[in-house]
C-alpha cells in the first residue's frame, strides 16, 4: 500500500542482514536513533534457519577467532564442531567412498596460489589449479570433483576467480562449527530492541545536508547518514539507486566485483541412507558437494544439503524444477535408485541468485581486482557509508559481514 509518511532518525541502515544488524546495534549502543529498512518480508538476508534447524544460507562459523564468537558467547549459544577430514567421502568409480584427497589437494592449490602470487604475480585460479592437477596421477573424476568443490566454495567459474580471491577468506582453512540453535537465532537475539521495518525496499538514496531515502511504499526516511548493506548482486543491477553520481572508482568497483552464483538443495529422507560418519560428500556431478545438515547433533534428522556454485548452477537454467530433477537423479546414481526412491521424502531448492533482494551467494575477487573491496567500503561525502560482506577482506562470511557493519557504524559515529 502506498503512503507518503515521512520518518526521521540519526542513522538509516539499508538491509537487516548480519552487516546491518551489527551496525545498528553498535550505533544504537552509542546513542544514535537508528531505523533499519529491509526490503524483504523477513530479516536476516543470507541467514535463514528453517524450523528443522536446516540452514538455507550461511551454515558454518569458520575458525575460532572471528567476531561471530564474541556474539555466540554474549548470547550463550552452543556450537557443534564439524567432522574432520577423516570423515570426508567422494563419489568415484561408481561408488561413495571414504577419501580425503580433495581437502589435501585444495590446501596444496591454495599454497601454490600464494607462492605464485608472491613470486610471479596475478593470474586466474584456473591456471594454478590446472598446473597443480595436471601432473597428478589421480582419476579425472577426482580432478573434476576438486574443481567443483572450489566452485561451490566461491560461486565462481575458476577462470573468473583471481589468486587473492582464492585465498579469501583466511578463515576457510580453519575448523568449522555450526550453531545448535541455528544462525537465525543469533541474529534474532542481536536484533532485540532494534527498529527493523520490513517490506521497505529502498529505491532512491539522495543526499545533501541530510540523507533522504524513498522506499517502494512511497515513504521517506530522513537521517544524518545512511549505511548501505545492499548486496553487490543488487548494486550491479541498480545503479540508478543513488540520485547523485558516485565517485568513478566506486562505480568501477561495483562493476568489477564478482557476484558468486550459489544455490542450496535440501533433500529430506525418511531414514539415513549414507554412512553415519559421513561429514561431507564431494562429487564430480553437477551437485558438487553434499553434507548431512545435522552433522554432530545428538539426534540428527536424515537430511542432506548440497551447496552448488557457478557451472553447476548454470546447468539448472534458472529452474528450480530442473535443479530438483538433477539432484534426484544424482542422488540415485550415488546411493542407488531403489534406496533413494524408498527413502526420499522431498527436495527443496534454495536459489539464492533468483532472490530479488540478494541476487548472489557471496562476492568473489576476479583476477587483478585486489583492493576493490576497500574502494567498495569507502564512505561518500561523509553521508553514505558502505557495509556488507563484499566490503570486507573476510568476504563471503557472516563474520566478514559483522566486521563491515562495525567498521561502517564507527565511521558514521565519528562523522556525526
Ligand X SMILES: Cc1cc2nc3c(=O)[nH]c(=O)nc-3n(C[C@H](O)[C@H](O)[C@H](O)COP(=O)(O)OP(=O)(O)OC[C@H]3O[C@@H](n4cnc5c(N)ncnc54)[C@H](O)[C@@H]3O)c2cc1C
Question: Which chain residues interact with ligand X by CB under 6 A?
Answer: 14-20, 37-40, 45-47, 57-60, 62, 201-202, 229-231, 234, 262, 264, 352, 357-358, 361-362, 388-389, 396-398, 400-401
Query: Do 163 and 122 contact (CB within 8 A), yes or no?
Result: yes
Min dist. Cβ of residue 356 to ligand X (A): 9
Query: Do 324 and 169 contact (CB within 8 A), yes or no?
Result: no
- For ligand X, the closer CB: 45 or 367: 45
Residue 141 and residue 328: Cα distance in Å, rounded? Answer: 20
- For ligand X, the closer CB: 335 or 362: 362
Min dist. Cβ of residue 393 to ligand X (A): 13
- For ligand X, the closer CB: 262 or 267: 262
Distances (CA, A) of 379 to 94, 129, 362, 410: 53, 36, 22, 12
The tally of CA atoms less than 13 A away on the side-chain side of residue 45 is 33
Residue 288 and residue 281: Cα distance in Å, rounded? Answer: 8
- For ligand X, the closer CB: 20 or 302: 20
Who contacts 105 (Cβ-Cβ below 8 Å, separation ≥6)? 132, 133, 136, 138, 146
Query: Do 228 and 39 contact (CB within 8 A), yes or no?
Result: no
- For ligand X, the closer CB: 162 or 361: 361
Question: Can you say whether the dihedral through the CA atoms of 89, 94, 95, 97 is positive or negative?
Answer: negative
Question: Can you say whether the dihedral through the CA atoms of 225, 231, 235, 241 is positive or negative?
Answer: negative
- For ligand X, the closer CB: 47 or 280: 47
Residue 272 has a CB neighbour count (10 Å cut-off) of 15
DSSP annotation string for 112-133: HHHHHHHHT---BHHHHHHHHH
Q: Strands 384-386, 225-228: parallel, antiparallel or unpaired by DSSP? A: parallel
Who contacts 377 (Cβ-Cβ below 8 Å, separation ≥6)? 386, 387, 391, 392, 404, 407, 408
Min dist. Cβ of residue 229 to ligand X (A): 5
- For ligand X, the closer CB: 38 or 126: 38
Distances (CA, A) of 136 to 62, 95, 126, 150, 165: 29, 21, 16, 18, 24
Residue 205 and residue 213: Cα distance in Å, rounded? Answer: 5
- For ligand X, the closer CB: 101 or 176: 176
Min dist. Cβ of residue 119 to ligand X (A): 31
Min dist. Cβ of residue 138 to ligand X (A): 27
- For ligand X, the closer CB: 39 or 367: 39
Residue 376 and residue 361: Cα distance in Å, rounded? Answer: 18
- For ligand X, the closer CB: 237 or 319: 237
> Phi/psi at 280 (nearest 5 deg)?
-150, 145
Residue 265 and residue 305: Cα distance in Å, rounded? Answer: 6
- For ligand X, the closer CB: 231 or 367: 231
Min dist. Cβ of residue 38 to ligand X (A): 5
Min dist. Cβ of residue 273 to ligand X (A): 24
* Cell triple for 30: 552509542
Query: Do 412 and 377 contact (CB within 8 A), yes or no?
Result: no
Residues forming a β-bridge with 220: 6, 214
Amino acid at each position: 500500500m502506498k503512503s507518503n509518511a515521512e520518518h526521521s532518525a540519526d542513522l538509516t541502515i539499508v538491509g537487516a542482514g548480519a552487516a546491518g544488524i551489527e551496525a545498528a546495534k553498535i550505533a544504537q549502543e552509542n546513542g544514535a536513533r537508528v531505523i533499519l529498512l529491509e526490503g524483504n518480508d523477513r530479516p536476516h538476508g543470507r541467514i535463514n534457519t528453517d524450523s528443522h534447524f536446516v540452514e538455507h544460507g550461511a551454515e558454518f562459523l569458520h575458525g575460532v577467532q572471528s567476531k561471530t564468537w564474541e556474539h555466540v558467547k554474549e548470547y550463550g549459544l552452543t556450537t557443534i564442531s564439524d567432522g574432520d577430514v577423516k570423515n570426508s567421502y567422494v563419489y568415484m568409480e561408481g561408488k561413495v567412498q571414504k577419501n580425503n584427497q580433495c581437502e589435501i589437494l585444495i590446501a596444496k592449490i591454495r599454497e601454490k596460489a600464494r607462492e605464485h602470487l608472491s613470486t610471479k604475480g596475478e593470474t586466474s585460479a584456473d591456471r594454478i589449479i590446472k598446473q597443480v592437477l595436471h601432473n597428478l596421477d589421480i582419476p579425472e573424476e577426482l580432478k573434476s570433483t576438486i574443481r567443483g568443490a572450489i566452485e561451490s566454495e566461491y560461486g565462481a567459474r575458476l577462470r573468473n576467480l583471481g589468486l587473492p580471491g582464492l585465498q579469501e577468506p583466511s578463515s576457510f582453512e580453519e575448523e568449522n562449527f555450526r550453531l545448535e540453535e541455528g544462525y537465525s537465532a543469533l541474529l534474532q537475539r542481536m536484533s532485540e530492541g532494534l527498529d527493523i521495518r520490513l517490506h521497505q525496499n529502498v529505491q532512491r538514496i539522495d543526499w545533501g545536508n541530510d540523507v533522504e531515502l524513498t522506499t517502494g511504499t512511497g515513504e521517506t526516511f530522513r537521517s544524518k547518514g545512511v549505511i548501505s548493506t545492499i548486496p553487490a548482486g543488487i548494486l550491479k543491477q541498480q545503479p540508478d539507486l543513488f540520485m547523485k553520481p558516485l565517485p568513478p572508482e566506486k562505480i568501477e568497483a561495483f562493476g568489477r566485483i564478482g557476484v558468486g552464483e550459489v544455490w542450496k538443495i535440501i533433500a529430506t529422507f525418511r531414514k539415513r541412507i549414507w554412512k553415519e560418519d559421513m561429514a561431507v560428500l564431494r562429487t564430480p556431478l553437477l551437485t558438487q558437494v553434499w553434507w548431512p545438515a545435522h552433522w554432530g547433533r545428538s539426534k540428527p534428522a536424515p537430511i542432506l544439503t548440497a551447496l552448488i556454485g557457478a557451472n553447476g548452477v548454470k546447468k539448472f537454467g534458472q529452474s528450480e524444477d530442473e535443479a530438483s530433477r538433477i539432484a534426484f537423479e544424482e542422488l540415485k546414481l550415488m546411493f542407488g535408485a531403489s534406496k533413494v526412491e524408498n527413502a526420499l521424502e522431498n527436495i527443496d531448492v534454495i536459489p539464492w541468485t533468483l532472490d530479488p533482494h540478494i541476487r548472489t551467494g557471496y562476492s568473489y575477487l576476479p583476477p587483478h581486482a585486489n583492493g576493490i573491496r576497500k574502494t567498495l567500503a569507502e564512505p561518500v561525502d561523509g553521508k553514505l557509508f558502505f557495509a556488507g560482506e563484499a566490503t570486507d577482506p573476510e568476504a563471503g562470511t557472516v563474520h566478514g559481514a559483522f566486521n563491515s557493519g562495525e567498521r561502517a557504524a564507527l565511521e558514521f559515529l565519528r562523522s556525526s
